[in-house]
Chain A
């Protein structure tokens, strides 16, 4: 059976969810297909969580414009979505005369991009703002901030769902075809079943998978060059006072911002990311040399003699795109396929992609509005959000996760919210929603308590519990009396 829909979005990352939310005010039938079990399992859950100001991007680029727009609107957006955001400011730190030149160039570029609150600081001023830091010169950016990318992506998704958007998880898009009355999209469910959709508009927001979707249209204009970024997550209170992101002077050769320190809203510190090209866009491993390189990168900023209390390492993939002849695509690409009307591709949505996700969504909406449809309801904030209560509000019952002080009530609410979104409740989805097992014991204590709670009160048998979807079962079965249960 073919399911018909007006708009079909491929990918439930920050960008796909922002688009879904933006379009949900037009009163159309919108479906989001996501291959993973939940929203935000791609790059949107594996990044630095920095709301960039926009001085790093070449003047005149889409990246610069949309980043600035995203940055300016973030307070309002965060309050609309009911999520955390801190405008911390950030430091880009250098040591040599050459670094100072680079910093000055960055400042000029920033000013050209109409970014305010940029300032060059001397050593004394750096120490005053961040005593733990080493460095002679710094560029200060007062507009930069931090947020929680899991919370953000899920809030966008929940808001979209409150506006009637339908999310289908565990649906991997396999092929696209033009039909008379729209585009036919063939997906495969995680159970291996086919699912077919027919939609007038299809939006490719598949992140690192977007080049693959592009090729499904029969063209080979782009190739993805996965560029992995590894991170270490440090225990809360590490280096006590670091209250804002701290970057080294970027290396223009690499086209990335360099190994930096980022505090999280929850008080942890992240070191990373590295930048390394990989073959496999799904290879999210950490590698021994890079794990050391990250520590060296942090020592560059904090001094040689510091030691680190790691609680987890992870990585994310930047969807770097090159054209067929190898020319790198350095800006966001948002384009409608001239041969396949209604097919919109979003390519190369690298950093500052999450900062720019809502402006990107607005542009996409603009591209579609040309067909004359009007928003039915502009008041996104007055939707029935009560369907997805904030997990914190459900606090109560036993304390399950000691490290992050997460209660029974919050975990059950996380499960309920996942289910309402249409997602499969998984350990990772629960963690992303309420932080249970994200702390320093990494589930050493609470895996058992969470498993028991899910079995007793959420109807999830322990032997079916997964980390992040089918195939990632946490346990391999029932110990005693397995056959007769």
Chain B
């Protein structure tokens, strides 16, 4: 039995934030258990931008955001056991917590006074959706598709229908399109888009990908590989769309199946507690759970009750609150159904909301100019992968936005490009890429 004061399960953004926070509060007897061979969790495969605007005031990609915390964790000297999967978390007899985990040298038991559960979430699979039809190859979740493309350099399909308009599905719609596959449509059973308006605009509208709301995929056909799907729309009409791939982005489920009942001293955070929209919020929840765990440890034996929204006992209540919040937000989205047609002007602090369709809504003419530019010559950061000479995919971005219409060309240019030698994070791989003055930068180094 290995003894530690606090054990953190999962080295994704939530777990890393919790570990760093605990260390900064003076807790030194820590250990992080992580299933993968690297930290970062799902951020490792989220090579797109959109992370860290709140925390760092910068538009980072997933690997870049992750690196910020990885560095802090390493500077603080927090030990991490990689390749170690937690199989069971349970209450010990004398109040502590017993964790069973399978690592490189077999299954071991760990004992700790408090623990942080930061194991993230998993995606809802087809089975849970009750979609009729056959079970051919070519049906996969958006997260799996993302991992296969970004970490294993694999093309998952040519003609794709996406089920569910969650953010991951939207992000993947853009990525598929830029990498040369066709996204035929995104089918959403609710009457509003599930993902953020920003993603709706930059991932679907930018590329003319249709979002069909109030519709459901009711059947999948195909014997060996997907051949088509039947979509039933609100009015009951059905139509068949020929495709070879179905990508599911229909909900995420917290990953805590290995926890046995209530475990006093166990604190949940990040997507293991409930699914957050932004990684910035995830990091915050990791820190808060760390503070609660600290409070728990310090007040132990003092007879004082510690209250915590992150505590194991509170999880059902907190999840229920979250569900209510999500419902409320859906209502709000219904009211602002056309949100994706608006942009917020950033020329001055007035932050006018301008309608892109008729450029109205600005308090001064500068708003109109800003919006016209945004409408007619939008600029976007390009993110994609390139191969090293050894064939390893590494993620890259342009350091500044480039014209939207150049994104496709950017990806095509890189199709046969090979980076000579090992790559370091932040290294400039190409100068004057697509536009003069634009650099192509590695967002994650190679493993060599």
Q: Which residues of B contact A6 (CB under 8 A)?
A: none
Q: How far is the CB of B226 from chain A (nearest CB, A)?
A: 10
The answer for the CA separation of A288 and B85 in the assembled complex, in Å, is 38
The answer for the CA separation of A286 and B179 in the assembled complex, in Å, is 33
Q: Which residue of B lies closest to A311 (CB)?
A: B127
Q: Establish whether residues B156 and A475, one from each chain, have CB atoms under 8 Å apart when the complex forms.
A: yes
Q: Establish whether residues B136 and A398, one from each chain, have CB atoms under 8 Å apart when the complex forms.
A: no
Q: Which residues of B contact A291 (CB under 8 A)?
A: 130, 132
Q: Which of A354-398 contact B (CB under 8 A)?
A: 397-398
Q: Which residues of B contact A313 (CB under 8 A)?
A: 127, 130
Q: Which of A268-286 contact B (CB under 8 A)?
A: 282-286
Verify if B421 is at the interface (C-beta below 8 Å from A). no
Q: Establish whether residues A447 and B102, one from each chain, have CB atoms under 8 Å apart when the complex forms.
A: no
Verify if B59 is at the interface (C-beta below 8 Å from A). no
Q: Establish whether residues B385 and A479, one from each chain, have CB atoms under 8 Å apart when the complex forms.
A: yes
Q: How far is the CB of A296 from chain B (nearest CB, A)?
A: 13
Q: How far is the CB of B265 from chain A (nearest CB, A)?
A: 23
Verify if A62 is at the interface (C-beta below 8 Å from B). no
Q: Establish whether residues B152 and A452, one from each chain, have CB atoms under 8 Å apart when the complex forms.
A: yes
Q: Which residues of B contact A472 (CB under 8 A)?
A: 136-137, 224-225
Q: Which residues of B contact A476 (CB under 8 A)?
A: 155-158, 244-245
Q: Establish whether residues B125 and A441, one from each chain, have CB atoms under 8 Å apart when the complex forms.
A: yes
The answer for the CA separation of A476 and B181 in the assembled complex, in Å, is 10
**Interface secondary structure of B, over-half rule:** mixed
Contact flag A309-B128 (CB < 8 Å), given A467-B136, A476-B156, A483-B416 = yes
Q: Establish whether residues B123 and A441, one from each chain, have CB atoms under 8 Å apart when the complex forms.
A: yes
The answer for the CA separation of A420 and B53 in the assembled complex, in Å, is 54
Contact flag A485-B125 (CB < 8 Å), given A398-B104, A475-B154, A479-B153 = no
The answer for the CA separation of A474 and B245 in the assembled complex, in Å, is 9
Between A and B, how many residue pairs show CB distances below 8 Å? 147
Q: How far is the CB of A290 from chain B (nearest CB, A)?
A: 8
Verify if A443 is at the interface (C-beta below 8 Å from B). yes
Q: Which of A426-485 contact B (CB under 8 A)?
A: 440-445, 447-448, 451-452, 455, 462-463, 466-485
The answer for the CA separation of A474 and B147 in the assembled complex, in Å, is 14
Q: Which residues of A contact B241 (CB under 8 A)?
A: none
Contact flag A312-B127 (CB < 8 Å), given A402-B85, A444-B144, A447-B140 = yes
Verify if B435 is at the interface (C-beta below 8 Å from A). no
Q: Establish whether residues A466 and B137, one from each chain, have CB atoms under 8 Å apart when the complex forms.
A: yes
Chain B, interface size category, equals: 35 or more
Verify if B151 is at the interface (C-beta below 8 Å from A). yes
Number of interface residues of A (CB under 8 A): 55
Q: Establish whether residues A399 and B102, one from each chain, have CB atoms under 8 Å apart when the complex forms.
A: yes
The answer for the CA separation of A479 and B123 in the assembled complex, in Å, is 23
Contact flag A480-B385 (CB < 8 Å), given A398-B104, A443-B144 = yes
Q: How far is the CB of B306 from chain A (nearest CB, A)?
A: 31
Verify if B218 is at the interface (C-beta below 8 Å from A). yes
One of A286, A402, A407, A473 near B225 (C-beta < 8 A): A473
Q: Which residues of B contact A485 (CB under 8 A)?
A: 391
Q: Which residues of B contact A441 (CB under 8 A)?
A: 122-123, 125
Instruction: Name, among A286, A444, A463, the residue most crowded by chain B CB atoms within 10 Å (CB to CB).
Output: A444
Verify if B223 is at the interface (C-beta below 8 Å from A). yes
The answer for the CA separation of A449 and B232 in the assembled complex, in Å, is 35
Verify if B50 is at the interface (C-beta below 8 Å from A). no
Q: Establish whether residues B35 and A399, one from each chain, have CB atoms under 8 Å apart when the complex forms.
A: yes
Contact flag A233-B127 (CB < 8 Å), given A288-B132, A471-B225, A480-B387 = yes
Q: Which of B344-384 contact A (CB under 8 A)?
A: none
Q: Which residue of A lies closest to B102 (CB)?
A: A399
Contact flag A288-B218 (CB < 8 Å), given A448-B151, A481-B391, A481-B418 = yes
Q: Establish whether residues B152 and A451, one from each chain, have CB atoms under 8 Å apart when the complex forms.
A: yes
Q: Which residue of A lies closest to B82 (CB)?
A: A398
Verify if B276 is at the interface (C-beta below 8 Å from A). no
Instruction: Name, among A470, A475, A483, the residue most crowded by chain B CB atoms within 10 Å (CB to CB).
Output: A475
Q: Establish whether residues B224 and A440, one from each chain, have CB atoms under 8 Å apart when the complex forms.
A: no
One of A311, A405, A448, A484 near B416 (C-beta < 8 A): A484
Q: What are the 4 A-B residue pairs with the smallest beta carbon separation, nearest first?
A: A471-B224, A442-B125, A399-B85, A312-B127
> Mind listing 24 A-B residue pairs with CB under 8 Å?
A282-B223, A287-B132, A291-B132, A310-B127, A311-B127, A313-B127, A398-B104, A440-B257, A442-B126, A443-B140, A444-B143, A445-B144, A451-B154, A462-B148, A463-B154, A473-B137, A473-B225, A474-B138, A475-B156, A479-B393, A480-B153, A481-B418, A482-B415, A484-B416
Which residues of A are at the interface with B, using a C-beta cutoff of 8 A? 233, 282-288, 291, 309-314, 397-399, 402-403, 405, 407, 440-445, 447-448, 451-452, 455, 462-463, 466-485
